[in-house]
Amino acid sequence: MAHALTPEAVHVIASSATHGFVGADISALCSEAAVAALRRIVGEKEGWGGEGRGEGREVGKGGEETEGGDREHKGTGEGSGGDVEEGELASTQEECSSNTSAAAAAPSLLLAVIREDFEVARRIIRPSALREVAVEVPTVRWSDIGGLEGIKQRLKEAVEWPYTRAEEMRAIGATPPRGLLLYGPPGCSKTLLAKAVATEARLNFLAVKGPELLSKWVGESERAVRTLFSRAKNVAPAIVFFDEIDGLAVARSKGGGASGGVGDRVMTQLLLEMDALTPSTQVTVIAATNRPDLLDRALLRPGRFDRLLFVPPPDLAAREKIFALCLRGTPLEADVDACQLSCQLAARSEGYTGADITAICREAKLAALEEDLTAACVGMRHFDKALGTVKKSVSPLESAFYANFQRG
């Protein structure tokens, strides 16, 4: 396969984009990259067509070709008989000859695969071990999350550094944590943080909701947990993300009724799988919950979930950033400045979560349409109405609960 990649670029692609790939997967990746290169080259040629000899040519009635929309075959008119005139035929032959010569003289790199083609192919081709798993490919960047800089840094240290700062960590004898628990009120970007770290670290991402692993059949829930971790190890380095883990890892002492036995066995299996993780397995577990008090205490000790990260409601600076992100691309009335609007709304939304702020912006846009279906802009009055409609979702009692849990 012709390519324009240096040996260093090939090494980067192989080391960062083929985690968990077998030989057949790599072959499929190269084939898909070649197809992506062909699409790119055809697109470029179509872009050039409008500037070359074909400019202004279009198809007339009956499939005949016209130039500038003015020249058209006249059917069976006198002197034509439906045939192409000799002068036009000569011109067409000359044009085809010219195009063939230009294509033959084009450099070979024009038809070569470049690194961007592999980036396109990587979004399509997945490791064989993941094809039976419903894998969500996250596309969330750190820049898409307003505030929470401290939490972002802790996630980078735990997930990105083992691969981007491996030499430094090895020199000092540091080992990455096995697991991280993100806890806090609903709507504070816990799931977005997990997606962002997977996107930025470019690791395979296996996301499950806690209750999805539970089954009414004896032994099936434990087998689902074993299978999940086995697949993660096969495609390592990888992240296993448990959303709403409180539905899976409930404290064994609090499990009651007929489901208590299943919950205990699943909890035990999860503890065994996390204990089996080592730096060489290259699997990191991230979990999110808004009920940390329900989790088994054995799961929260160092060596399993090494870092318990509280994700609080956004402060003033974070709310300004979130409003700015939500208002990006929103048409505003002439007397409304986007920067000043973000500051004003942030000052009036103390205690609101990121989800609440998103709801405010959505309701403001809908309020503009309710006022006038032909409205093209959103004004300050619409945001005032939205603030009166959307209430903060975190009560003082909930804030006190998380503060008490954080203190231990």
DSSP 181: E
Q: Which amino acid, one-letter code, is at 73?
A: H
Per-residue pLDDT of the chain (408 residues; tens, 9 = 90+): 677 777 777 777 776 667 667 778 788 888 888 888 888 888 776 665 444 444 444 444 444 444 444 444 444 444 444 444 444 444 444 544 444 444 444 444 456 888 788 778 777 776 665 555 555 556 889 989 988 999 999 999 999 898 888 899 999 988 888 899 999 999 999 999 998 998 888 888 888 887 778 877 888 888 889 989 988 888 788 899 999 898 888 777 544 444 457 778 888 899 999 999 888 888 999 999 999 988 988 888 888 998 999 999 999 999 999 999 999 989 999 999 999 999 999 999 998 999 999 999 999 999 999 999 988 899 999 999 999 999 998 888 888 899 888 866
Q: Provide the phi-psi class of 301: left if phi over 0, else alpha when psi is between -120 and 50, else beta.
A: beta
For the chain, domain boundaries: 1-48+88-125, 131-310, 316-389
Question: C-alpha distances in angstroms, 153 versus 9, 53, 147, 148?
Answer: 28, 55, 11, 9
Task: Report the candidate in 195, 193, 170 with the shortest Cα–Cα distance to residue 182.
Answer: 193
* Residue 156 burial (10 A CB sphere; 0-12, 13-18, 19+): middle
Instruction: Give the three-state DSSP class for 113.
Output: strand
Here the tokens at position 354 are 């990121």
Which one is the CATH code of 131-310: 3.30.70.980, 3.40.640.10, 3.40.50.300, 1.10.260.40? 3.40.50.300
3-state SS, residue 318: helix
- Which residues lie closer than 8 Å to 120 by C-beta, 6 or more apart? 32, 33, 36
Domain covering 316-389: architecture:
Orthogonal Bundle (1.10)
Dihedral of alpha carbons 325, 326, 328, 334, sign: negative
